[in-house]
Chain A
Amino acid sequence: MQQIEQEVRQFVIENFIFDNNHRNFSNDDSFFDTGLLDSMGVLTLVDFVNEKYGIPIEDDELLPENWDSVNRIATFVRARFSPAIDSQDNSAQNCIV
């Protein structure tokens, strides 16, 4: 599993899953369809991504396609990092594996 997926998954487990029965969710599982997260959870995830990866999140980016699974978040983070990668920003590159 790649680093961003691992970090997001670990954050979700530590902050939203309080029993062992629900830790086997897939990285493609919808947070909302599976009941893992509600809007408070999304708000917490937005803060996490903002702080962890230094990405300011605009209102029009708060869409299910960006936030409703571990893999969607990882894809979103990589897409936001792309310009930095293109401009050879090594510090940003080091954050995403």
Chain B
Amino acid sequence: MKATPSSFTSNALDIDAAAVTGALEHAIREIVFARLHRKGAVVGLSGGVDSSVTAAICARALGKDHVFGVMMPESDSSDDSLGLARLLADVVGIKTTVENIAPSLEALGCYQRRDEAIRKVIPEYGKGWKSKIVLPSLVENSQYALFSVVAQSPSGEMKRARLTAEAYLGVVAATNFKQRVRKTMEYYHADRLWYAVAGTPNRLEYAQGFFVKNGDGSADFKPIAHLYKKQVYQLGRYLGVPDEILRRPPTTDTYSLEQSQEEFYFALPLEKMDLCLYGKNNGFAPEAVAAAVGLSGEKVQRVYSMIDSKLHSTHYLHLPPQLVEPVEEVTATH
């Protein structure tokens, strides 16, 4: 049943976790075994809640012996990530492997290319420095959200500079190697095991284009892509995902300085973003959502506009390869 604008509360996203789990188990079995004709699922484990819930629900649906976890640290990964991923695998009871992707990234020039891009705005940036790229807070500012790089020198001095278009694209293009190498490794294991690759985006990430095309955006199925972030947490608690993982602030784990998803992409705390996306998707006026989100109606309207803008600008990420003419013999068999 669709809620009415007058009934919007911060509980709007609450789910019946047992019922959702049952539906997901059924759907995953149907997708992996019947549609994809694969024996199981490979899940890239980051130590975050999304990959943890994906692995846990796949293990319930397919059997823990039919789920394989791959942990893929690199030079900028947080020290916590590997330990939390191992903890999840132990709790769920799935087999795993650790693939250090740093040598592959080094060989591709990932770190060197990123550093060269950063030097376009911070010339002294180099060996021993750490960095992240950030957006201004949407709540505190009415300006356009343009990326800046924040860098820390080996002596601890912090610098911040707004990125030019060339520098921004250079940093993103270089760091996207990380997600693409990880996906390559996931498909290696999927191919050798005759498994499908499970993608781990939640609804915020999927709808707002927070993924790398042919990187973490690539998968054979995405079992939690329709679930809001709060719902993923609810599911995590129901499925027994360890508290250490549920308490961990969502992170991109892509840059050498600690970086939240909020400062990198959403420019708004995820719980507020969650409610705004739900409100917008379900036809609530900004004023109806404002109190539950703790923002003014005007600011919720700005978030709605930003959601539309991202839907538009990231549409390309969702598109499959475009054909000049349909190839009937392929579409006819699906």
List residues of A whose CB falls within 8 A of some B CB: 32, 35, 38-40, 42-44, 46-47, 59-64, 67
Beta-carbon nearest neighbor of B148 in chain A: A59
Q: How far is the CA of A42 from the CA of B145 in the complex (A)?
A: 9
In the complex where A47-B164, A47-B165, A59-B136 touch, is A40 in contact with B313 (Cβ < 8 A)? yes
Secondary structure dominating the interface of A: helix
Q: Mark B147-173, 1 if CB is under 8 A from A, else 0.
A: 100000000000000111110100000
In the complex where A43-B146, A46-B146 touch, is A32 in contact with B309 (Cβ < 8 A)? yes
Indicate whether B142 reaches chain A with its CB closer than 8 angstroms.
yes
Number of A-B contacts (CB under 8 A): 42
Indicate whether B305 reaches chain A with its CB closer than 8 angstroms.
yes
Residues of B within 8 Å of A67, CB to CB, are 144
Give chain B nearest CB distance to A33 CB in angstroms. 9
Contact among B146, B305, B312 for A42, CB-based, below 8 A: B146
Give chain B nearest CB distance to A63 CB in angstroms. 5
Flag if A40 contacts B309 (CB, 8 Å): no
Offer 24 A-B interface pairs, CB within 8 angstroms, sorted by A.
A32-B305, A35-B312, A38-B309, A38-B312, A39-B146, A39-B309, A39-B313, A40-B168, A40-B313, A42-B144, A43-B147, A43-B163, A44-B165, A47-B165, A59-B143, A59-B146, A59-B162, A60-B143, A61-B143, A62-B144, A62-B146, A63-B142, A64-B144, A67-B144
**CB-contacts of B230-271 with A (<8 A):** none
Q: How far is the CA of A62 from the CA of B313 in the complex (A)?
A: 19
Q: How far is the CA of A61 from the CA of B142 in the complex (A)?
A: 10
Residues of B within 8 Å of A46, CB to CB, are 146, 165
Flag if A43 contacts B309 (CB, 8 Å): no
Q: A38-B312, A46-B146, A59-B146 are in contact. List 4 more A-B contacts (CB 8 A).
A: A38-B309, A40-B168, A63-B143, A63-B144
Give chain A nearest CB distance to B317 CB in angstroms. 13
Flag if B312 contacts A43 (CB, 8 Å): no
Residues of A within 8 Å of B312, CB to CB, are 35, 38
Residues of A within 8 Å of B147, CB to CB, are 43
Residues of A within 8 Å of B305, CB to CB, are 32
Flag if B165 contacts A40 (CB, 8 Å): yes
Residues of B within 8 Å of A42, CB to CB, are 144, 146
Give chain B nearest CB distance to A80 CB in angstroms. 16
Q: How far is the CA of A75 from the CA of B327 in the complex (A)?
A: 51
Residues of B within 8 Å of A63, CB to CB, are 142-144
The 6 closest A-B pairs by CB, nearest first: A38-B313, A62-B143, A62-B144, A44-B165, A43-B165, A42-B144
Residues of B within 8 Å of A60, CB to CB, are 143
Point out which of A38, A43, A67 has the most chain B C-beta atoms below 10 A from its C-beta: A43
Q: How far is the CA of A43 from the CA of B142 in the complex (A)?
A: 16
Q: How far is the CA of A6 from the CA of B314 in the complex (A)?
A: 29
Residues of A within 8 Å of B165, CB to CB, are 40, 43-44, 46-47
Q: How far is the CA of A44 from the CA of B136 in the complex (A)?
A: 18
Q: How far is the CA of A58 from the CA of B246 in the complex (A)?
A: 39
Beta-carbon nearest neighbor of B145 in chain A: A39
Give chain B nearest CB distance to A29 CB in angstroms. 16
Residues of A within 8 Å of B146, CB to CB, are 39, 42-43, 46, 59, 62
Residues of B within 8 Å of A61, CB to CB, are 143
